[in-house]
Each structure stands twice: as C-alpha cells, then as structure tokens.
Amino acid sequence: VSSTRTAPGSYRALQDLWGSAPALLARLPKGSLVLLDERVAGLHRVLPKAIVRRKPLRIVGLAAGEQAKSLPALGRVLEAASQLPRGATLLCIGGGTLGDLATVAAHLIKRGVELIHMPTTVLAAVDSSVGGKGALHVAAGRWTVKNAAGVFHYARQTWLCPELLETLDPAQLREGAIEAWKMFACLDAGLWRRSRRHRPGMLALIREGRRLKDSVCRRDPYELEGHRRVLNFGHTFGHVLETISRFRLSHGDAVGLGMLCALDVGRRIGITPDRVAREVEVGLDEGPGIMSRSDLARWLRRASTPSIQRLLAADKKAGPDAEMRMVLLHALGRAEVHAVPPRAWRALLPSWRAGGRP
Ligand SMILES: NC(=O)c1ccc[n+]([C@@H]2O[C@H](COP(=O)([O-])OP(=O)(O)OC[C@H]3O[C@@H](n4cnc5c(N)ncnc54)[C@H](O)[C@@H]3O)[C@@H](O)[C@H]2O)c1
Ligand SMILES: [Zn+2]
C-alpha cells in the first residue's frame, strides 16, 4: 500500500501568503508551538495577542542572534515541544537565526512536524525562509564552525507581512538587500541591469529574491546536483569573516565583503572578466551598499593565514581531497563552482590586508 501523503518537511513548491499579522495568524492551527523573537514581540504587540487567540500549546520567546543557532537553544525548543502531538505545527516568527533554529527543531520534533515561517527581517524574507535549510553552529576548538550541523526541512507555508518589516533599521534592510542582489548577480543579468537603472524597493527585492531562490531550489531541493550551490556566492569568505569577527559582523555584511573576495579570486584564476568584476563591485556599492575594502582589511588582519586556511577547510564546499571550492562569476547572471588552489587566495591576502583592490 503506498501513501500519497508527503512527510512534513519534504520538498514542496513555495506557498506564500501575504497579509496583515492578525489575518495571517487567524490561520494558525490550534495547539501549535510558536517561536517568537522577543524583540519583535516587544515592537509588535499585535503578535502575542493574535497568537493567544489561537490557543497555542506554548509561545517560546527567544533572543535572536547567532547564539540562537546552538544546542542549548535547541534544547529549550525541544523541551517546550515535548507535549506537541504528531501532525502539529511549529510557527517561527523572526529573522534568519530563529528561522534556522526552528527548521532544525521542526525536523526533530516527533521525527518531523509542519513548519510555517513568518519572516521578520528582509534577509529571512528574501533568502533564509526559502529552500528548506536550517543549521546550528558547533564549537570546535578556538572557533565556532558556522552551520556545522543542519537539516533540510521545507516549510508548508511562508506568511509574509510587510508591516512587521517597518521596524527594521537601515543596516538590517541593507543586509537583506545584499542577499537579493547576490542572486541577481549570479542568476539573472536582466534583473541586475534593471535594478542598476531603478533601485528596487524592499517589497520588490523580497518578491524577486524569493522567486529566484525558489527557481534554483526547485531544480535541486536537497543540493544533490550542485545547481543550488551558486547561492553560496560570497559565502566562502563571508563565513570566514563572520567567524573571525566572532559574529560581530552581520551575515549580510560578511557576504557583501565575501563577494568582493570571490570576484578577486575569480579574476586571479582567469574565470571572472575584469569588466564583470568591476560592474558587480560598483553595483553592490551603489545598490544595496556594502562595506568597504578597508573594513575587509580590518577583519582579515585579525586572523593569521593558517587560521584562515583552517576555517576555509571547514567550509562545507571543500572537496573530498580538501581542495577548496568557490562559486565564481563567469559573466553577469552566470556563476559556477570551481576548485581554487590555495596559492590563489594566499596571493591576494597581502592586498586584501592592505585594503586595496588586487
Ligand atoms: N537557511 C538558509 O538558507 C539561510 C540563508 C541565508 C541566511 N541564513 C542565516 O540567517 C541568519 C541571519 O538572519 P538575520 O539577519 O535575519 O538575523 P537575526 O534573526 O539575528 O535578526 C537580526 C536582528 O534583527 C532583529 N529583528 C528581527 N526582526 C525584526 C523586526 N521586524 N524589527 C526590528 N528588529 C528585528 C532580531 O531581533 C536581531 O536582533 C544567519 O545565521 C544566516 O546563516 C540562512
Ligand atoms: Zn547568506
């Protein structure tokens, strides 16, 4: 006898609902478990009120931030979920860090429960709530390895609520915009050029970013074929920078600087034409706005070359023989994964540490 029902969290097409918070929350199944960013709860009093009306099992208030992607935080959520029946729903209201924690929890609770994301940062709306990935960081010696343990668990729906995004500050808006422009650069040259002429607003960035990311994830829901690796453009050095900064550098800003590194590496090994690298560097600066090369220098000067080497080796895209792989740009809208010999990035380090364009 075969079952036509799909397991909670298995791949499904994107299901986006847009609306006001009370209207969306009225759809919440009774008895759900709700993870709620404490800061967002304080800024938007409408949320706890609307949730309570749906008689949830529990509302777990959590502090957002990279420390939320940890085993202790996961423990808190699993404990709160101990009375949750199979077939129940976990709703996560917050940014990418709580979203990633919720994704891991939804995968583990009762061997998998339905997940609904209600992203409250542009970064989460554009990027992290699409594509089913969630992960925690693992402490390993001196450094914390970013996203070292994770799962694929696709959300049943995403509830998008523009009014919740009104309390984000310019830095938070920029961090989300950087991930959206990353997708334009790697996947859609036409959209990149149009965005250069007329800078898209927040809602357009969210719609286009979700559409592009979904188009990639749909072809390769579990990252078996490599299609979705292009989404990691800027993330190889981005993750290294986040780690070196001990997460004082936000994910979005680290990815912005990581894209500069990827452009330089691409030029160095003859993959990225200089004119493309220049266009993307200027476009990222004038579009979403990225930090400067002197910021890159400041962070890179904090770690020794062997430390950087070790952090790069811990990167999930490193090949079996520990050769490094990076997403590099061939042309606007076209990116591919390439093996990068260590001498390539080592040769660039002195210029990076001096704050110049190699
Ligand atoms: N799973 C994926 O595919 C994926 C993709 C991209 C990024 N990520 C992950 O996402 C994380 C970054 O996400 P993030 O930038 O949303 O971080 P975050 O969740 O820490 O949110 C950033 C800050 O914004 C605050 N905040 C959230 N919503 C707010 C609102 N509406 N108004 C005011 N403040 C608000 C939070 O309290 C927090 O202080 C990283 O850990 C990154 O690895 C995951
Ligand atoms: Zn990212």
pLDDT in tens, 159-211: 999 999 999 999 999 999 999 999 999 999 999 999 999 999 999 999 999 99
Q: Is the pLDDT of residue 319 over 70?
A: no
Q: Is the pLDDT of residue 131 over 60?
A: yes
DSSP state of 323: -
Average pLDDT (330-341) is 95
Residue 225 confidence (pLDDT): 84
Residue 115 confidence (pLDDT): 98
Mean pLDDT of the chain: 94
CA atoms within 13 A on the CB side of 179: 28
Average pLDDT (122-135) is 97
Q: Is the pLDDT of residue 96 over 90?
A: yes
- Confidence tier at 317 by pLDDT (50, 70, 90): low
Average pLDDT (276-295) is 98
Ligand 2 centroid – CA 61 distance (Å): 24
First-to-last C-alpha distance (Å) of the chain? 62
SS3 270: coil
CB of 98 within 6 A of ligand 1: the answer is yes
234-281, pLDDT tens digit by residue?
A: 999 999 999 999 999 999 999 999 999 999 999 999 999 999 999 999
Ligand 1 centroid – CA 123 distance (Å): 6
Residue 127 confidence (pLDDT): 96
* pTM assigned to the model: 0.93
Residue 320 confidence (pLDDT): 54
- Residue that has been written with the tokens 């969630």 in this structure: 134
Nearest-ligand number for the alpha carbon of 67: 1
Average pLDDT (63-86) is 95
Question: Which atom of ligand 1 is closest in space to residue 119's alpha carbon?
Answer: 28
Q: Percent of the chain, pLDDT > 70?
A: 97
Ligand 1 centroid – CA 130 distance (Å): 13
Q: Is the pLDDT of residue 52 over 90?
A: yes
Q: Is the pLDDT of residue 63 over 60?
A: yes
Mutation test residue for ligand 1: of 120, 248, 253, the one with most atoms within 8 Å of CB: 120
- Buried (b) or exposed (e) across 56-90, using 16+ Cβ within 10 A? bbbbbebebbbebbbeebbebbeebbeebeeebbb
Average pLDDT (313-318) is 66
Q: Which of 37-41, 302-306, 309-313 has the lowest mean pLDDT?
A: 309-313
Residue 227 confidence (pLDDT): 84
Ligand 2 centroid – CA 33 distance (Å): 27
Q: Is the pLDDT of residue 310 over 90?
A: no
Query: Which protein residue's CA is at the shortest distance from atom 11 of ligand 1?
Result: 96
Residue 2 confidence (pLDDT): 53
- Confidence tier at 77 by pLDDT (50, 70, 90): very high
Nearest-ligand number for the alpha carbon of 249: 1
Residue 141 confidence (pLDDT): 79
Residue 278 confidence (pLDDT): 98
- Confidence tier at 313 by pLDDT (50, 70, 90): confident
Mutation test residue for ligand 1: of 152, 217, 251, the one with most atoms within 8 Å of CB: 251
Residue 251 confidence (pLDDT): 94
Taking residue 223's Cβ as centre, other Cβ atoms within 10 Å add up to 17
Nearest-ligand number for the alpha carbon of 98: 1
Average pLDDT (68-93) is 96
Query: Which protein residue's CA is at the shortest distance from atom 3 of ligand 1?
Result: 128
Judge contact between 59 and 31, C-beta under 8 A.
Answer: no
Helices 251-268 + 274-286 axis angle, to 10: 160
